[in-house]
Amino acid sequence: MGIDLLAAYGRNEPCWCGSRRKYKSCHGNQRPSSQPGAPLPPDREGSRFLSPSTSLATGALGRMMPAGTGITLPADGPEPTAISYTNWEADLGSALDGDGDAMSIESLGGLRVEVLRRLAGLPASEDPPSDQIIQAVYRLAAETVRTVAQLVRQTPRPAMLWNQELDVAQFLGRTLLLADHVLYPDHVFDSLRREPSARQLKEDATSELMNAELLASGIAIPVPAGVAMATQGRAAQELTAGDLKTPELVAWVHSQLIVEGPTAREALFVRAADDLAQDAANFWLHGHIDRGSMDHETGRFKTSMLQPYDPGFDYEPWINQVKNSAIGALVQRTHERIVAADVFGAEYVSASLFEARLLRTRERTARIGPAQAALWADIPELTTMRGPDLAKLLTNEGAIEDLRRQVRAALKTARTDAENIDAITELTHQLEAASLNLQKRSRTDLAWKAVIPGGLSAASMVLGTVTGGLVAASGGALGALATLAPFLGDRMNTRRDAAYLFVAARRGRQ
Q: Which residues contribute to the site for Zn ion (CB under 5 A)?
A: 15, 17, 19, 26-27
CB of 18 to Zn ion, least distance (A): 8
Q: Judged by CB, which is closer to Zn ion: 14, or 242?
A: 14
- 8 A C-beta contact, residue 96 and residue 231: yes
Residue 55 beta carbon to Zn ion: minimum distance, rounded to whole angstroms: 25
Q: 182 and 506 in contact (C-beta within 8 Å)?
A: no
CA 507 to the chain's CA centroid: 25
Whether the Cβ atoms of residue 504 and residue 435 lie closer than 8 Å to each other:
no
Q: Which is nearer to Zn ion, 355 or 497 (CB)?
A: 355
Nearest approach, Cβ of residue 273 and Zn ion (Å): 12
Residue 437, Ramachandran bin (φ over 0: left; ψ between -120 and 50: alpha; else beta): alpha
* Residue 87: CB minimum distance to Zn ion, A: 39
Nearest distance, CB of residue 355 and Zn ion, angstroms: 14
Nearer to Zn ion, 231 or 352 (CB): 352
| 279 within 8 A of 303, measured Cβ to Cβ | no
Residue 388, preceding bond cis, omega within 30 degrees? no
DSSP structure string for 390-414: HHHHTT-HHHHHHHHHHHHHHHTT-
Label each residue of 62-84 as H, E or C. HHHCCCCCCCCCCCCCCCCCCCC
Among 87, 133, 89, 334, which Cα is nearest to 225's? 89
What is the spatial distance between Cα 233 and Cα 227, in angstroms, rounded to a whole number? 9
| Closest CB to Zn ion among residues 60, 277 | 277
Question: Which one, 26 or 477, has the nearer CB to Zn ion?
Answer: 26
Rg of the Cα atoms in the chain: 28
The SS3 assignment for 192 reads helix
| Rounded alpha-carbon distances, angstroms, from residue 294 to 65, 147, 174 | 18, 55, 57
Of 355 and 389, which has the nearer Cβ to Zn ion?
355
Output the smallest distance, CB 266 to Zn ion, in A.
31
Q: Between residues 18 and 109, which has the closer beta carbon with respect to Zn ion? A: 18
Q: Helices marked H in 183-244 — which ranges? A: 187-192, 198-208, 212-216, 226-244
Nearer to Zn ion, 19 or 94 (CB): 19
Q: Residue 56: which of 72, 68, 71, 40 has the closest Cα?
A: 40
Smallest separation, CB 471 to Zn ion (Å) = 59
Comparison of 319 and 356: residue with beta carbon closer to Zn ion: 356
State the minimum distance, in angstroms, from the CB of residue 213 to Zn ion: 28
Q: How far is the CB of 358 from Zn ion (least distance, A)?
A: 17
Residue 306, judged by CB atoms within 10 A of its CB (0-12, 13-18, 19+), counts as middle
Outline where 260-393 has alpha helix (H): 316-343, 353-362, 370-376, 387-393
Q: What is the dihedral of CA 461, 467, 468, 471, to 10 degrees?
A: -50
Q: Please, what is the Cα angle at 119 between 116 and 122, to 5 degrees?
A: 155
What is the nearest approach in angstroms of Zn ion to the Cβ of residue 384? 15
Q: Phi, psi (5° rounding) for residue 501?
A: -60, -35
Q: Which is nearer to Zn ion, 203 or 274 (CB)?
A: 274
Cβ closer to Zn ion: 238 or 378?
A: 378
Smallest distance from Zn ion to CB 73, Å = 39
